[in-house]
Amino acid sequence: MMELRGLEKSYGGKPAIKDLSLDIHKNEYLTLLGPSGSGKSTLLRLIAGLEQPDRGGVFLDNAALLNMPAHMRNLGFVQQKYALFPHMAVFDNVAFGLRYRHLNPLDDEAEIRTKVMDMLELVGLSDLEMRKVGQLSGGQKQRVSVARTLVCEPKICLLDEPLGALDANLRERMAIELRRIRAALGVTFLHVTGNETEALAMGDRVVVLDNGCIRQVDIPEKIFTKPTSIQVAKFVNAYNLFPGKGRPEKFEYCDHKFPLRGDAGAARYYGIRYDQMRVSYQNDGQAGLSAKFVTSEFEGARIKYFFECPDVGVFEAEVHLGEEGLGRLQQGEEYYVSWDPNQALLFDGAGELMSGFGATEGLQ
Ligand X SMILES: Nc1ncnc2c1ncn2[C@@H]1O[C@H](COP(=O)(O)OP(=O)(O)OP(=O)(O)O)[C@@H](O)[C@H]1O
**Alpha carbon distance 177, 4 (integer Å):** 28
The answer to whether 236 and 222 have CB atoms below 8 angstroms apart is: no
The reply on whether position 39 binds ligand X by CB under 6 A is: yes
The reply on whether position 38 binds ligand X by CB under 6 A is: yes
State the nearest-atom distance from the C-beta of 70 to ligand X, in Å. Answer: 16
Q: Which of residues 184-223 bind ligand X (CB under 6 A)?
A: 194
Describe the crossing of helices 109-122 and 168-185 by its angle, rounded to 10 degrees.
130
The reply on whether position 40 binds ligand X by CB under 6 A is: yes
Beta-sheet pairing, 188-193 with 29-33: parallel
Of the two residues 210 and 316, which places its CB atom closer to ligand X in the complex?
A: 210
The reply on whether position 37 binds ligand X by CB under 6 A is: yes
Residues binding ligand X: what is the number (CB under 6 A)?
11
**Alpha carbon distance 229, 223 (integer Å):** 10
State the nearest-atom distance from the C-beta of 11 to ligand X, in Å. Answer: 3
Residue range at the interface with ligand X (CB under 6 A); choices 34-42, 139-147, 151-159, 252-260: 34-42
Output phi, psi for 210, to 5 deg: -145, 120
The answer to whether 189 and 206 have CB atoms below 8 angstroms apart is: no
In the DSSP assignment, the letter for residue 229 is B
Question: How buried is residue 11: exposed, middle or buried, by Cβ count under 10 Å (0-12/13-18/19+)?
Answer: exposed
Of the two residues 39 and 358, which places its CB atom closer to ligand X in the complex?
A: 39
The reply on whether position 231 binds ligand X by CB under 6 A is: no
The reply on whether position 13 binds ligand X by CB under 6 A is: no
State the nearest-atom distance from the C-beta of 40 to ligand X, in Å. Answer: 4
State the nearest-atom distance from the C-beta of 164 to ligand X, in Å. Answer: 9
3-state secondary structure of 170: helix
Of the two residues 21 and 295, which places its CB atom closer to ligand X in the complex?
A: 21
Q: How many CA atoms does the CB half-sphere of 238 hold within 13 Å?
A: 19
Which positions lie near ligand X, rule CB under 6 A?
Answer: 11, 16, 34, 36-42, 194
